[in-house]
A and B are shown apart, each in its own frame.
Chain A
Amino acid sequence: MGDNMEIIKSLKLIFKYLHLSFKITKEYKIELFYAFFVSLTNIIGFPIVWFLLTNGGSNHLNTWHFHHLIFLSIVLSIIYSFLDLIGLWDVWKLVFSEGRTVILRYLTRPANFYLQLFGEHFFVGDLIRIFLYILILAYITINENIPIYNILAFFLFFLFGFTIMVLLLLIPVNLFLIYDQSTRGLPDLLWGFLSYAGLPIDNAKEVVYFFLHYIVPIAFIAVVPAKSFFEGFSINNLFSYFLVISCLFLINKYLWNVAVKRFEAIGG
């Protein structure tokens, strides 16, 4: 009963933050134009790039054909839009500007720390981006006659891929809560890797392939879901997802515990 009440309270808080974001977006309409033009740049830019690299769409990059590559770019764009929607994109600015004091502000309130941290940065304007990208995905799905089985596999792996992205981005946030300003270079490092998530990285040489799958698992964010859309479900992938998500979750849990303990030990 108590747990259910907590969930209802959290949901109410999420809706309040979403409502607040909606009001802000209504006030600053330029944000909607930004969201629209950012998605337009992706929708026009990526096909041009892949068109050039596959020599007018006639060639393929190993196992990746022109429409596979467009699909991959759009999947990553959707993941980025969702990240911005849930406030994870802007969280760096808050953490950098306020340092570890951010922990005091949210930890002393009777709601989940992360929910408050991200909730204040929700941006509903991203729904425009997501809508436009979904239209492109729907077009590819209809045009390529993709079986429903593949679509379901894609949805499942897409959710897992998004979870991995969130957990990866939480690592520097938690490290920042422990080590403060000395870790401010970490987001750049992580974004340096994440920028490959939209490239056909399964074609890299063995060492890099292993590195991008199991050390910094960015291949599972968009590449594996996009492949499953065209090639179908794979039990090996499912197992890998469980393994990677569990490891990342445990790392984050450990870092959060250290951050809270350190914060309490020195009295804030």
Chain B
Amino acid sequence: MFVNPYLTAKASFIAGFKETLHFKAVIYTNIFTTILRTFILISLWQNIFHNDSLVSYLVTLSFLCFPGIMPIFRSINEHYESKIKEGWSIAFSKPLDVFLFSVFYVFGKLFIFHVISILTGFFILFFLGSKINVLAFLFAYISIFLFEISIAYFLSSFSYFFYHLWGLRVITSMLYMMFSGLAFPLINVDKNLFAYLQFFPFTVRGHFIAVSLLNNDLFLLFYSCLILLFYSLIIFFLGLFIHRKGIKKFESHGG
């Protein structure tokens, strides 16, 4: 008899939330790191490209599109992997969905940090003169969250076959950092060259959403979120397929 998914989600969220409250240093260091990181990036790229819109662009990416330096999918996947290492038989014999638990536990852990980070971003952009549509931002945030959960689900499906998932996580994170605009601002890239990246999920998740939010371009935002949701569905079903294969393998081996 499975525990009600709603209760699992609620309890996991509260557990994660309370853990963050217990270690307040994690919140302070994350916020401090994000501010310092954004400041350094602005100083560097502004000196190289002399582009005034870079400041708003990097602030939007750091605080709104990427609350924190750790992508959500990475935290979920790390947590899920540590649960799986306890053994699939233990995970299966628990009366709750381990993945659901990981997602909401991590979301609870990151919740305060996301709220502070997003508010800081809105505050800075307000003083810089850029106003962002709150509803548009919420829509983008939900799309980003679903996309990240689907990646975490996909990566975790390999846990039936490999003992370690770190390599998959590192490769995904590297692609994420390289092509999202967070470390390397894609705002200055030549449009002809950029055409090849416009359907790349990490570029859509970072660069396109940041640009559409800054320019209040609702059409571009809607289009970007639609692409993200499309990718999320494909990645999720691929993950589901591999999970089913994995469970069959697990059962055929007798655990």
Chain A residues close to B by CB (< 8 Å)? 28, 30-31, 33-35, 37-38, 41-42, 45-46, 48-49, 51-53, 55-56, 61-62, 181-186, 188-189, 191-193, 195-196, 199-201, 203-205, 207-208, 211-212
Judge whether A33 and B164 touch: CB under 8 Å.
Answer: no
Q: Given contacts A52-B193, A212-B40, is CB(A188)–CB(B69) below 8 Å? A: yes
Q: Separation in Å of the B51 CB from the closest CB of chain A?
A: 12
Contact at A49–B184, with CB atoms within 8 Å? Answer: yes
Tell whether, in the assembled complex, residue B184 and residue A35 are in contact, meaning their CB atoms are under 8 Å apart. no
Chain B window 169-205, contacts with chain A (Cβ cutoff 8 Å), 1 for yes, 0 for no: 0110011011100011010111001100100000000
- The answer to the question of B48 belonging to the interface, with a C-beta cut-off of 8 Å to chain A, is yes
Is the beta-carbon distance between A185 and B167 smaller than 8 angstroms? no
**A183 near B167: Cβ-Cβ < 8 Å:** no
Shortest beta-carbon distance from B72 to chain A in Å = 15
* Chain B residues, CB < 8 A from A196: 40-41, 44
Q: Is B186 a contact partner of A203 (Cβ separation < 8 A)?
A: no
- State whether A192 touches B171 (Cβ < 8 A): no
State which of B25-33, B135-143, B145-153, B228-236 sits at the interface with chain A.
Answer: B25-33
Q: How far apart sit A56 and B190, CA to CA, in the bound complex (Å)? A: 8
Complex Cα distance A46/B44, Å?
18
Determine whether the beta carbon of B25 is less than 8 Å from that of A203.
no
**Bound CA–CA A208/B37 (angstroms):** 11
**Interfacial chain A residues near B27, Cβ < 8 Å:** 185
Q: Are A208 and B40 in contact (CB under 8 A)?
A: yes
With a cutoff of 8 Å between Cβ atoms, the chain A residues found around residue B175 in the complex are 41, 45
Residues of A within 8 A of B36 (CB): 192-193
Known A30-B162, A203-B48; judge A195-B183 contact (CB<8 A): yes
Report yes or no: A186 in contact with B29, Cβ–Cβ below 8 A. yes
For the complex, give the distance between the alpha carbons of A52 and B179 in Å: 10
Supposing A28-B164, A38-B171, A188-B33 touch, asked if A51 and B193 sit within 8 A by C-beta, the answer is yes
- Interface set of B (CB-CB < 8 Å, partner A): 23, 25-30, 32-34, 36-37, 39-41, 43-44, 46-48, 69-70, 162-164, 166-168, 170-171, 174-175, 177-179, 183-184, 186, 188-190, 193-194, 197
Least Cβ–Cβ distance between B38 and chain A, in angstroms = 10
CB proximity of B231 to chain A, nearest CB, Å: 19
Determine if A30 and B25 form an interchain contact, defined as CB atoms under 8 angstroms apart: no
Measured in the bound complex, the distance between the Cα atoms of B45 and A62 in whole Å is: 11
Q: Is the pair B32, A189 in contact by a Cβ cutoff of 8 Å? A: yes
A208 to B210, CA, bound (A): 25
Partner of B44, one of A28, A192, A195, A200: A200
Bound together, the chains give a CA A24 to CA B208 distance in angstroms of 43
Q: Are A37 and B70 in contact (CB under 8 A)?
A: no
B166 in contact with A34 (CB, 8 Å): yes
**Cα–Cα, bound, A184→B24 (Å):** 10
Interface of chain B, helix or strand or loop or mixed? helix
Residues of B within 8 A of A208 (CB): 39-40, 43-44
Given contacts A203-B47, A205-B43, contact A38 B189 (CB under 8 A): no
Q: Which residues of B contact A205 (CB under 8 A)?
A: 43, 46-47
Residue of B nearest to A199 (CB): B44
The residue that A52 contacts in the complex, of B23, B29, B37, B189, with Cβ under 8 A, is: B189
Smallest distance from the beta carbon of B227 to chain A beta carbons, Å? 20
Instruction: Offer 20 A-B interface pairs, CB within 8 angstroms, sorted by A.
Output: A28-B163, A30-B164, A31-B167, A34-B170, A38-B170, A41-B171, A42-B174, A52-B194, A53-B189, A55-B189, A61-B48, A62-B47, A183-B25, A188-B26, A188-B70, A195-B177, A196-B40, A199-B183, A204-B47, A205-B46
Q: Which residues of A contact B30 (CB under 8 A)?
A: 185, 188
User: Which B residues lie within 8 Å of A184 (CB)?
Assistant: 23, 25-26
Is the pair A192, B164 in contact by a Cβ cutoff of 8 Å? Answer: no
Query: Quick check: A30 and B190 within 8 Å, CB to CB?
Result: no
CB-CB under 8 A from B162, the residues of chain A are 30
Give chain B residues whose Cβ lies under 8 Å from the Cβ of A183. Answer: 25
Tell me whether A45 and B44 are in contact (CB under 8 A). no
User: Which B-chain residue is minimally distant from A185 (CB atoms)?
Assistant: B29
In angstroms, how far is the closest chain A Cβ from the Cβ of B187? 10
Cβ contacts under 8 Å, A49 to chain B: 178-179, 184
Chain A residues within an 8 Å CB radius of B47: 62, 203-205
Q: Which residues of B contact A45 (CB under 8 A)?
A: 174-175, 178-179
Chain B residues near A33 (CB-CB < 8 A): 167
A35 surroundings in chain B (CB, below 8 A): 167
CA distance A192 to B32 in the complex (A): 10
Which partner residue on chain A sits nearest B188 by CB separation? Answer: A53
Chain B nearest Cβ from A201, distance in angstroms: 6
Min C-beta distance of A41 to chain B, whole Å: 5
Q: B190 → chain A, closest Cβ, in Å?
A: 5
User: What chain B residues lie within 8 Å of A193 (beta carbons)?
Assistant: 36-37
